[in-house]
Amino acid sequence: MQASIEWASLARTFGLFTVTAVAELLGCYLPMLWLSNKGSAWLLLPAGISLLVFVWLLSLHPAASGRVYATYGAIYIATALAWLWLVDGVTPAWTDIAGVGLALAGAAVIAMGHRTN
């Protein structure tokens, strides 16, 4: 029972990190479209909203500590490469996938390593 609660908590945290990363990416991507003349200045409005949502989502993270942000960083890397593929249409190279795997493995070591029983 305790293990299923921990997995549910881990899944919820992973989901929160993923949504936070998407809000951050969108908030930066839309102004880039405007600056590169691929979209209108109106893109700045949803970009600003997205960045406000990003900051609000940061406040929902379990704790504002180095471990949490290190783990978020790995999720951000994975989400950014998914964005590259799904939004920009660039297929990630095997080195991208390997790098994401290493980042996520490192984050798992950081996140799980501090637990005491």
Task: Please compute, for residue 51, the number of CA atoms within 13 A of its CA located in the half-sphere on the CB side.
Answer: 10
Give the total number of structural domains in the chain. 1
Q: Are 51 and 23 in contact (CB under 8 A)?
A: yes
pLDDT, one tens digit per residue, over 90-103 is 999 999 999 999 99
How many whole angstroms separate alpha carbon 86 and alpha carbon 84? 6
Show the domain range for 108.
2-113
Nearest to 22 by CA among 30, 11, 33, 12: 30
pLDDT, one tens digit per residue, over 27-68 is 999 999 999 999 999 999 999 999 999 999 988 876 666 777
